[in-house]
Homo-oligomer: A and B are copies of this chain.
């Protein structure tokens, strides 16, 4: 008991996480580490989107496996070791496609949800 205080639903729309990560990398031009990406998304979405670490790191690994990002160890500004990621060419392409199909889906959903 003593669970589920409000709602344990996901903080994001499932299926959008990888797109959000890729987009973050694109918009910042400088390579970013995972923690930084999480902060960035949280901040720019005005605290609405929160990316949990248990979702984030596996997602970054998937993206790296698929060759959409490239990661390497470096030292962060604060002196800790961190894995810095940047978009690959394939990642940039994939991002464009994902955004396009996301927007298409969105339009379709809004046609159902919002009165004409």
Contact = CB atoms under 8 A, between A and B. Distances in A.
Given A10-B15, A13-B15, A102 B113 contact: yes
Binding site of A, secondary structure by majority: helix, strand, loop or mixed? helix
A1 interface: no
Contacts of A82: none
A65 interface: no
Interface of A: 10, 12-16, 19-20, 23-24, 27, 41, 44-46, 48-49, 99, 102, 104-109, 111-113, 115
Given A12-B109, A41-B112, A44-B111, 15 more contacts: A13-B15, A13-B106, A13-B109, A14-B15, A16-B109, A19-B113, A23-B112, A23-B113, A44-B112, A45-B108, A45-B111, A48-B105, A48-B108, A49-B112, A106-B106
